[in-house]
Structure 1
Amino acid sequence: MPVLASPSASAVNWDHQMHTDDGDPGGRLRFASYGDIVQICDIEADGWAVNVQVYDTVHGYNVDEFSVGGNGNCKTHRASNGYNLVEGRYYRFTVALKNGYGLQYHDYGTWKA
């Protein structure tokens, strides 16, 4: 009898990606407009966490902010989990490294949801 493989989780088509602005980037941010998926990953064992802020350019406030630490760890927010962005609106994404002294090594992008 043939063996049927179980369906795998569908891959995310990332529309945008950027890294923290340090010399050897310690953090990565990815965004997929379909499903409003925002993912950050700590990609370096440097003792810093990665932080993202999602800023609504129309209403002028942060609609989401979260962090993750530990080399290899990622954290994801999705529309299906209550993090819905307004379709067609531009949001400013900021990725930075975070330690006890605050946020440093920022990088910015303004992307359409």
Structure 2
Amino acid sequence: MLATYGMETDDGNPGGRIEFRTLGDVVSVSDQQAGDGFGAIGYVYEYVNSTTRGDLVYSLRDDRADGVPAVARASDGHNLTEGRTYWFRICLIGNGQGLEYCDWAAWSNQE
């Protein structure tokens, strides 16, 4: 089944978004608010179970808020194994505060 998943950071006016499209294993991270002092950072982790994340597969960061997300694709060497589930995380980063307003989801790469 081809699917597109997405979620945003947990702040009141979501400043970050991560999307995963199973066709081509496309993961995109976008900074949605210019001038707020934050960027968006997304992570992909191995899935262990419904409460446990495994090793980091890769991360993406977008600080531009220009409508052009940071993107990773299978064709760029960021292949996510078909039939497996992965943990995805989106956070805001900046202002010297570290990671903030993070959200997590487990999405399956079923094609």
Q: What TM-score do the two structures reach when normalised by structure 1?
A: 0.83
**Structure with higher strand content:** 2
Give me the whole-angstrom Cα distance separating, in 1, the residues matched to 2:46 and 2:77. Answer: 16
Query: How many angstroms apart in 1 are the aligned matches of 2:102 and 2:78?
Result: 22
CA RMSD of aligned residues (A): 1.6
Could you tell me whether the CA contact under 8 Å between 1:37 and 1:78 is conserved in 2?
yes
Indicate conservation of the 8 Å contact 1:26/1:43, yes or no.
yes
Q: Percent identity at matched positions? A: 40
Corresponding residue to 2:72 among 67, 71, 77: 77
Q: Aligned partners of 2:54 and 2:9: how far apart in 1?
A: 23
Determine helix, strand or coil for the equivalent of 1:28: strand
Question: Aligned in 2, Cα 1:42/1:14: closer, same or farther, shift over 3 Å?
Answer: farther
1:29-59 deviation digits (Å, cap 9, x = unpaired): 1110111000011111211010011011148
Give the Cα separation in 1 of the matches to 2:38 and 2:63: 7
- For structure 1, the 5+ residue unaligned runs are 1-12
Q: What runs of 5+ residues in structure 2 fail to find an aligned partner?
A: none
Higher relative contact order (CA closer than 8 Å, sequence separation 6+): 2
Matched, 1:110 2:106: yes
Q: Give the equivalent residue in structure 1 for 2:15.
A: 26
Deviation at 1:101, TM superposition (A): 2.1
Deviation >6 Å, runs of 4+: none
- Alignment partner for residue 37 of structure 2, among 31, 34, 47? 47
1:65 aligns to 2:62 (yes or no): no
Q: Which has the larger radius of gyration?
A: 1
Q: TM-score, normalization: structure 2?
A: 0.85
Distance 2:108 2:21 in 1: 10
1:22 Cα offset (Å): 0.4
